[in-house]
Chain A
């Protein structure tokens, strides 16, 4: 940048374009007036001569400056001005007024344009050497960024992305920080919350981790690709250190400044004036720390904090700058990972909806089938009603007339069997009628209690033989209430009417994993046990048994609702009946 002393009086417009043009040049360009004072100069010349805005005017004499630079120009200036000869100095070793050692090439030419004085060029010849020295470290930084970039591009998982960045920041082959802490933004509460940390918790831990890593002789690429092995097992205690730290961004602080400005800060053994930053350093037990914001698409997403607590190596600005580069990459990768995660969630949701749709389709097909079967059953049942009425009716009529004993017995059998068949038809029609209703969520215990009472009342039985024990928690199931009521009623009717004449039973409801269950257990002696086993076998397996159709319909109803109705062997050899239905979410 072109620089000019404020009180300079004889500035020539003819020089300005040249100096502006050379403002960014790698060489210093300057003019000296006839009195031997430096008048105009570019940034490079200012840096070499040790001039800044505060340098007094009287200190800009070439003679004074040359007392530091020892180029010889100060002494020769009057003679050269008189003779018109140029000044050339090469490889002049010197120390400028700021105490910086340098090797200079300088060349000055007396002006012949009538202005007077000299125009000169000065070059620091060791710059190129210094740049050459920087090449290996620049290559190393470039390699580091390349490796990190490659590792980041291989994963969309947020956890892995974070670990890659933090491993790169802590690995000796990377930035070599002792510890790195990641805070993520909770935008709702305007807070940065401690999320993840890598590094040893103390010197002993450091010795173990680092000697372990040293013995493996892994490259940065190895470390980044196997980050789980190298870091995960060690990072828990240190992550715990920041897990409960929340940095409030609504309060003015250095941390807030870093986050808002997007510029890193390097705290070098200082005590921050603001409370939140001081509290953070206290919590982490350090006084030197680099703070680097994580910003993606102009939005703050987090903060990286790094220190060298164990080795006490000062944190250089160069390494913080590099950490910022890593943080920039991390922010992009994190944004990518977030989008990937969102896509994954959407894909999962789609799959879930797809499966729900499939289930619904299956359910609809099932309902359609049930509906057709129901219609068919209903039609058949009605068609059978007339012939049964006729057969049974005439049998009853005949029973009223004078008949032989045998004939009376036979007609009695016909009439009673017809009546039983009519009852079965009644149940089938009940089931068909109940399937016309819609599903609802209901408490199975309530249903059981109500139907058991109803059943016992209709059969004129007291509850002395059948006891009831209901689950303390609600057993919410989803289904067609009338169908489930019909199934449970038929089950209790079977129990009360057929199975317990020689014993007693307990009906209880309970939760069995993801099912609501109704269990009917029996208490009886050995003889009754045999009768019970036989009766249950007939009802559940023998198609000729009178109650078989009723229980089949009940079983199909329970199966239709995703459950099961069956017989299980009890511990004491007494069989029990179980009815299970899947618990719905409300249960």
Chain B
């Protein structure tokens, strides 16, 4: 059975890109445009892993990460952001991995595989 991945990003084209890429390699993908929506989805449904953007309007990625840890503790979370600087923020240590956005999605894909294997 395919792993279920929740992609959370306010940028619609990023969501679309990740969805296409991850589906193409065999994952089942659901997307959310905000942290609030992501928490609702994770509460109502079961996901194996979330790819979570940090800089988002409303509830940002770090706050969402905290809530997701309570709402869906079994779900792995990979923080995916344009900012490398958040790596130094201890709040990000709650995540299973931290990947800086890049047009080359291989790094992200590799991290998803690795995290899912380790669960």
- Does B85 sit within 8 A of A, measured CB to CB? yes
Q: Which of B8-44 contact A (CB under 8 A)?
A: 11, 13-14, 17-18, 20-21, 24
CB-CB nearest in chain B for A391: B103
Interchain CB contact under 8 A, A422 and B103 = yes
Nearest to B53 among chain A residues (CB) is A386
Please pick, from B17, B55, B84, B85, the residue contacting A390 in the complex, using a CB distance under 8 A. Answer: B17
Residue from B14, B20, B85, B105 within 8 A of A386 (CB atoms): B14
Kindly state the interface size class of chain A when it binds its partner: 20 to 34
Q: Which chain A residues lie closer than 8 Å to B55 at the CB level?
A: 382
Q: Produce 1/0 per residue, A387-428, CB < 8 A to B.
A: 011111111110010000000000000010011001000000
Contact of A400 among B13, B24, B104 (CB under 8 A): B24
Is A385 at the interface (CB under 8 A from chain B)? yes
* Chain B residue at smallest Cβ distance from A388: B103
Assembly CA distance A432 to B1 (angstroms): 45
Residues in chain A near residue B103, CB distance under 8 A: 388-393, 395-396, 415, 418-419, 422
Q: Tell whether B101 is near chain A: CB-to-CB under 8 Å.
A: yes
A433 within 8 Å of B by Cβ? yes
Assembly CA distance A382 to B11 (angstroms): 14
Pairwise interchain contact B24-A382, C-beta atoms closer than 8 A:
no
Shortest distance between the CB of B17 and any CB in chain A (Å): 4
Q: Please state if A397 and B21 are interface contacts (CB–CB under 8 Å).
A: yes
- On whether the beta carbons of A389 and B85 are closer than 8 Å, the reply is no
Q: What residues of B have a CB within 8 angstroms of the CB of A393 in the complex?
A: 14, 17-18, 21, 103, 105
Alpha-carbon distance between A393 and B101 when the two chains are bound, in angstroms: 10
The dominant DSSP class at the A interface is: helix
Contact indicator B82/A386 (Cβ below 8 Å): yes
Q: CB-CB < 8 A to A386: which residues of B?
A: 11, 14, 82, 101
Q: For the complex, give the distance between the alpha carbons of A397 and B105 in Å.
A: 9
Q: Is A429 an interface residue (CB 8 A)?
A: yes
B68 to chain A, nearest CB (A): 22
Chain A residues in 8 Å Cβ range of B104: 392, 396, 419
| B102: interface (CB < 8 Å) | yes
How near does chain B come to A380, taking the closest CB pair, in angstroms?
Answer: 11
A415 closest partner in B (C-beta): B103
B93 at the interface (CB under 8 A from A): no
Residue of B nearest to A400 (CB): B24
Closest to B104 in A: A419
- From B11, B83, B101, residue with most partner A Cβ within 10 Å: B101
Interface residues of B in 97-119 (CB under 8 A from A): 101-105
| Contact status B20-A389, CB under 8 Å | no
In the complex, A388 Cα to B82 Cα: how many Å?
10
Contact indicator B82/A385 (Cβ below 8 Å):
yes
The docked-state distance in angstroms from the alpha carbon of A394 to that of B11 is: 14
CA–CA, A415 and B105, complex, Å:
11
Contacts of A392 in B (CB 8 A): 102-104
User: Number of contacts between A and B (CB, 8 Å)?
Assistant: 52
Q: How far is the CA of A433 from the CA of B17 in the complex (A)?
A: 29
**Are A397 and B17 in contact, with the CB atoms below 8 A?**
yes
Chain B proximity of A427: nearest CB distance (Å): 12
A385 contacts B24, C-beta separation under 8 Å: no
Complex: A391 Cα to B105 Cα, angstroms: 12
Residues of the B chain whose Cβ atoms lie less than 8 Å from the Cβ of A419: 102-104
Q: Hey, which chain A residues are within 8 Å of B13, CB to CB?
A: 390, 394
Contact A389–B101 (Cβ < 8 Å) = yes
Within 8 A of A (CB), among B47-84: 55, 82-84
- State A390–B101 Cα separation when bound (angstroms): 10
Q: Determine the chain A residues whose CB is within 8 A of the CB of B20 once the complex forms.
A: 397
Q: Which of B11, B85, B103 has the most CB of A within 10 A?
A: B103
Complex CA–CA separation, A388 to B18 (angstroms)? 14
Q: Name B17's closest neighbour in chain A (CB-CB).
A: A393
Q: How far is the CA of A433 from the CA of B103 in the complex (A)?
A: 22
The residues of A that contact B18 with a CB separation of less than 8 Å are 393
A427-455 vs B, CB cutoff 8 Å, 1 = contact: the mask equals 00100010000000000000000000000
Residues of A within 8 A of B101 (CB): 385-386, 389
B85, A433: Cβ atoms under 8 Å?
yes
How far apart are the CA atoms of A418 and B21 in the complex, in Å? Answer: 18
Bound together, the chains give a CA A419 to CA B82 distance in angstroms of: 14
Q: Tell me the complex Cα distance, A429–B17, Å.
A: 25
What B residues does A394 contact at CB under 8 A? 13, 17
Q: How far is the CB of B108 from chain A (nearest CB, A)?
A: 10
Residues of B contacting A396 in the complex (Cβ-Cβ under 8 angstroms): 103-105
A391 contacts across to B, CB distance below 8 A: 103
B84 contacts which chain A residues (CB < 8 A)? 429, 433
Q: What is the CB-to-nearest-CB distance from B57 to chain A, in angstroms, rounded to a whole number? A: 14
Q: Give Cα A390 to B103, complex, Å.
A: 6
On whether the beta carbons of B83 and A382 are closer than 8 Å, the reply is yes
- Residues of B with C-beta under 8 A to A418: 103
Give the CA-CA distance A382 to B55 in the complex, in Å: 10
Out of A385, A389, A415, A422, name the residue touching B17 (CB < 8 Å): A389
What is the CA–CA distance of A419 and B107 in the complex, to the nearest angstrom? Answer: 13
Which residues between 247 and 281 of chain A lie within 8 Å of chain B, taking CB atoms?
none
| Min C-beta distance of B83 to chain A, whole Å | 6
Chain A interface (Cβ < 8 Å from any Cβ of B): 382, 385-386, 388-397, 400, 415, 418-419, 422, 429, 433
Task: Kindly list the 5 A-B residue pairs having the minimum CB-CB distance in the complex, ordered from nearest.
Answer: A392-B103, A385-B82, A393-B17, A390-B13, A389-B101
Extra pairs beyond A397-B21, A419-B102 (9, CB < 8 Å): A386-B14, A386-B82, A389-B14, A389-B101, A390-B14, A393-B14, A394-B13, A396-B104, A419-B104
Binding site for A on B (CB under 8 A): 11, 13-14, 17-18, 20-21, 24, 55, 82-85, 101-105
Interface pairs (8), CB distance under 8 Å:
A382-B83, A386-B82, A394-B17, A397-B17, A397-B20, A397-B21, A400-B24, A422-B102
